[in-house]
Structure 1
């Protein structure tokens, strides 16, 4: 599906939007529910990834195809490896077969897991023979995708001896690790995170509890960008959010003050308001703890005629696509001058945007949604726009509520 995007008349937006539950929280909660059936879940994400995760957890034997869902690949690898008697082949899309799992498989192997590579060494598809894992200590590099770490932490309380994890080097995406530990704490599991050592105590069963999934902060980023690119006085209310969020992308509230956006927390929502025009010529930020909002921020800067230097982005190389190279290619279509390294993106200030270009999305939901706010500044086409269903199926419908035109070609 190709969509031709045009921004709202007058570049003023005012509306209220209810965003689906966090994909990250939902997938963690679903895995914990599979381990402890006394758990119930409210406001679960309606994303493709959460659907794939739920269906995968229900399979006893045979093939589990998680398509493009990287979180499901990592989390289900740990889950099935720890489920005695389950014999599973875990596979996915062509791109998924290019995304490494070796560090996680090696870590699980050190705990006694039985996992084999069925095609290319170090990559899916993998064959998993579920076993009772009794070893209680593991070590792995700290500067990797936090999903490897969370995969191990989520199954840790179900292991006979719990788990002590040593992270070697500088830790990446700490908020996502803390999100996982926070959910474990909510169901009564004892944990500690001191220095580079994480400990999770074993827990055979949990008391009945409802986990309420907060709405997705990553999805909120696109509305922050919309407000930043709109005129002063624009305002969007987003539900349901809380000030003490477990999600790392909550740093948006602070970051977007530099773009003139003020965030007000209410009882169960946030209100984004454009209170002034931006004052910076260039924006610099280390996003090692929130890499998923890098694309959104880069597009915001482009739309405001600002430069930016975004660092800490090494994990973006192994996402749905190589997001750094993809951003360089697509930003350049609008006339931007962009440089990328293996962990950074540098955008030069640019004021004249080329219009009516076609943005490719590379099977990556965030490419489609990150560029959408730019329609406030110039009209363009989004190719394969349906990829948003991976995390936010209602995105285009919600954009129309704000006055955007999204015409299918």
Structure 2
């Protein structure tokens, strides 16, 4: 019997919640710290399915990782020799951990098999494997050509140029950038196609700068100079801006006041832009500090037309916001979501129609035409084991009676205590 989470309607409330550390920053910081010359302490890390998988895999590769009892920090002493031996790594449901580890393994020596859940193993990775092979790294497919599991025979890089596509995932580029300083020579990265989710590459570049990498932007991509990470001993992980987005949206659509703790002022994360988007719709910033923000919603707000190519993780949340606007909305330039963990756009459209909403496909996005509140109907919204959909669809139940969502535990991928914080709405 599958589990469901039932949501009670609630408007005009006042509450306080806390968001976890950034998943994107935590996974990147773990790779950077493992490569660093000195031990590194990561403060305010996220402990979720993805980051736990990364910690387990890096530990298996000889890195010493100590987690504090209160989980407020992680201390990493990297395996400087990076003699990995013969190992099998399992990354579970984390495609990002898989991608980041492939480049990390290429910095050392060993015979490393990488496997994953059926969900991740069903995604094609030939494009990225072909890129890594350009560096002289031998990789073979263990079962099905073009898919996990793969076996990497790492003996150091022999070539200094790699072409990386940005068409389907920015994580390919981020993966190479994170580890390229420790390849055998300076690396010329040539990017092909427009980079989707570019804001995540920006996070990578900012963190690389913090750790002391020497990277130059070129006409065709990036030049990464062979160097060592030796400038960081302690690194603070920001609060996760995508996690904040659900509560910012909750405040807007219910005309409520919410204080969000662990909200970083002037965050380096692209999803920080969500605050500006909602401010343009009428969300009021009541007060803010370096580590918190208090916002208040409005009685009504207009629809919008937004290009979300740089911040695709915001699409599900904004789709739900659009349901309660006064006029139609368009979400544009996010065609890559049709291949991200399944077809996320189709999933959103399907579930909106299930509650009698109006959502239609655009060539590269969605158009949503809002209806009167009484027109929407309750029901069970399928989450497709997608954490972003689970958290976004929860917002529907604040406005529409008798809404429940399936498989609520899938949020553990990025925000394990999401529903604990969500319950604060009812206190």
TM-score, normalised to structure 1, is: 0.92
Which of 231, 236, 241 is 1:212 aligned to? 236
Aligned length, in residue pairs = 397
Compared with structure 1, are the counterparts of its residues 317 and 207 closer, same or farther at alpha carbon in structure 2 (3 Å cutoff)? same
Q: How does 1:214-293 map to 2 (within 5 A)?
A: 214-231=238-255, 234-263=256-285, 264-274=287-297, 276-280=298-302, 282-293=303-314
Which of 383, 388, 407 is 1:361 aligned to? 383
- Separation in 2, partners of 1:259, 1:98: 39
Compared with structure 1, are the counterparts of its residues 122 and 260 closer, same or farther at alpha carbon in structure 2 (3 Å cutoff)? same
Q: How does 1:64-213 map to 2 (within 5 A)?
A: 64-85=89-110, 87-213=111-237
SS in 1 for 2:118: coil
The match for 1:396 is 419
Which of 319, 324, 334 is 1:313 aligned to? 334
- Separation in 2, partners of 1:21, 1:183: 15
With 182-191 and 347-356 compared, the bigger mean Cα shift is at 347-356
The match for 2:18 is 18
Deviations 1:285-339 (A, max 9, x none): 0000000010000011113354221112122123223101111111111112222
Gaps of 5+ in 2: 62-85
Are 1:374 and 2:393 an aligned pair?
Answer: no
The match for 1:407 is none
Report how far residue 119 of structure 1 moved: 2.4
Compared with structure 1, are the counterparts of its residues 229 and 208 closer, same or farther at alpha carbon in structure 2 (3 Å cutoff)? closer
Residue pair 1:303, 1:374 contacting (<8 A) in 2 also? no
- Separation in 2, partners of 1:169, 1:365: 28
The match for 2:47 is 46
Report how far residue 397 of structure 1 moved: 0.5
Report how far residue 353 of structure 1 moved: 4.2
- Separation in 1, partners of 2:339, 2:148: 13
Q: With CA pairs under 8 Å and 6+ residues apart, which has the higher RCO, 1 or 2?
A: 1
Residue pair 1:32, 1:39 contacting (<8 A) in 2 also? no
Residue pair 1:38, 1:207 contacting (<8 A) in 2 also? no
Compared with structure 1, are the counterparts of its residues 205 and 283 closer, same or farther at alpha carbon in structure 2 (3 Å cutoff)? closer
- Separation in 1, partners of 2:6, 2:327: 25
Residue pair 2:301, 2:326 contacting (<8 A) in 1 also? no
The match for 2:5 is 3
With 302-311 and 362-371 compared, the bigger mean Cα shift is at 302-311
Residue pair 2:92, 2:117 contacting (<8 A) in 1 also? yes
Residue pair 2:166, 2:172 contacting (<8 A) in 1 also? no
The match for 1:57 is 58
Residue pair 1:88, 1:127 contacting (<8 A) in 2 also? yes
The match for 2:68 is none
Gaps of 5+ in 1: 405-409
Residue pair 1:187, 1:209 contacting (<8 A) in 2 also? no
The match for 2:73 is none
SS in 1 for 2:216: strand
Compared with structure 1, are the counterparts of its residues 306 and 222 closer, same or farther at alpha carbon in structure 2 (3 Å cutoff)? farther
Compared with structure 1, are the counterparts of its residues 50 and 16 closer, same or farther at alpha carbon in structure 2 (3 Å cutoff)? same
Residue pair 1:258, 1:278 contacting (<8 A) in 2 also? no
Compared with structure 1, are the counterparts of its residues 205 and 185 closer, same or farther at alpha carbon in structure 2 (3 Å cutoff)? closer
Residue pair 1:166, 1:197 contacting (<8 A) in 2 also? yes
